[in-house]
Amino acid sequence: MKKIMKRAWEIYRTLTGDHRAKISMALRQAWAEAKNAAKNAAKKAFNGFAKVARTDDPYGECCYFAFKLWEKYGKKRIYINDYKRRTIGYIENGEFVLKDRQGNFQEEIDFALNAFRSSYAF
């Protein structure tokens, strides 16, 4: 609670306008930051490579997607490849861009993408 109040006052000092509106906004933002920090603390750190199962019940070597970090030219992307190393798409600025499904079902791609987002902080 003490950290949240300190952060709220830091935010308060950067805002302009009515006193009540500023403190209200600062407290909302400080609480939101604290909640996001708690969610991200439970996630593993993404170290540049991860494998995520395509479905709930993985049944073989070919049932995963690989997530790999790429940084160049001021861009930062996480490429998503299937087990044959064919690029399916990438995540940039938190948004998924589909290049080609490469014969994979959209439900499997969505499942793996959601599992990755819920498991790793990036």
The confidence band for 16, taking pLDDT boundaries of 50, 70 and 90, is confident
The encoded tokens of residue 106 equal 């959209």
What's the pTM? 0.59
Q: Give the mean pLDDT of 25-34.
A: 89
Q: What CA–CA distance (Å, rounded) separates 23 from 119?
A: 34
Longest dimension (CA), the chain: 61
Residue 62: partners with Cβ closer than 8 Å, 6 or more residues away: 83
Q: What CA–CA distance (Å, rounded) separates 23 from 43?
A: 31
Q: Give the mean pLDDT of 86-91.
A: 87
pLDDT tens digit string along 105-120?
Answer: 888 888 888 888 888 8
8 Å CB contact between 114 and 53? no
Identify which has the larger pLDDT, 12 or 60: 12
